[in-house]
Amino acid sequence: MRTPLLAVALAALALPGAAFAQEEGSMDHAACPATAAPLPPELASFAARVPLAAAKAADKLGKATLTVGQAADGTLVATPEVKYPLRPAKPGGSVSYGGLFGFTVTEAGTYRVALGSGAWIDVVKDGVAIESSAHGHGPDCSEVRKMVDFPLEPGSYTLQVAANGQPSLPLLVTRVP
């Protein structure tokens, strides 16, 4: 009796990507209207992104600065080239992409990081990862796949992106109303 249960358990562990793919889900775009519904105001700039190359190290964040409220098409680098301030919990492998982006918060509140993929992210301040307060999927039929909220105080932050499957990533940091 234990052998079949063990086999089922091992099979389930061997296929974590399949369970993740169903949970993260790829939207059935056939069910989406030809013209997508407008995004909520805090995500509206996702439709008008600006190009921005990720930094490979924290001391190079000057040119990789996100403007809060303005979405970007982030250009990432191969994971082995990134020197993360903190090791990501899911760093990805040698064929994944990542990078660092800086941003500044001027007003305390909840800030949302919206991504066009399921990449792993960390928000870091003074060498410490900020614990997220919520996470979820983007609006149905939109380019926003993942959203993670963080309670932030005024200051400078680093957004670490890891384990992305592509060398580019739509992303946005915005204050939640």
pTM for this entry: 0.81
pLDDT tens-digit profile, the chain (177 residues): 444 444 444 444 443 333 333 334 444 556 888 877 789 999 999 999 999 999 999 999 999 999 999 999 999 999 999 999 999 988 888 889 999 999 999 999 999 999 999 999 999 999 999 999 999 999 989 999 999 999 999 999 999 999 999 999 999 999 998
**Which residue's entry shows tokens 């792993």?**
120
pLDDT number for residue 37: 75
Please give the structure tokens belonging to residue 83: 């020197």
Which pLDDT score, from 0 to 100, does residue 28 have?
A: 53
> Which domains are assigned to the chain?
43-175 (2.60.120)
Name the 3-class secondary structure at 32.
coil
Contacts of 122 (CB under 8 A, 6+ apart): 86, 88, 89, 129, 130, 159, 160, 162
Instruction: Please state whether beta strands 168-175 and 109-115 pair in parallel, antiparallel, or not at all (unpaired).
Output: antiparallel
Alpha carbons 22 and 19: distance in angstroms, whole number: 5
Q: Model confidence over 154-176: pLDDT tens digits? A: 999 999 999 999 999 999 999 99
Return the pLDDT at 31. 82
The answer to whether 172 and 71 have CB atoms below 8 angstroms apart is yes
Dihedral sign computed on CA atoms, order 44, 103, 106, 152:
positive
Tens digits of residue pLDDT in 126-152: 999 999 999 999 998 999 999 999 999
CB within 8 A of 47, min separation 6: which ones?
A: 39, 71
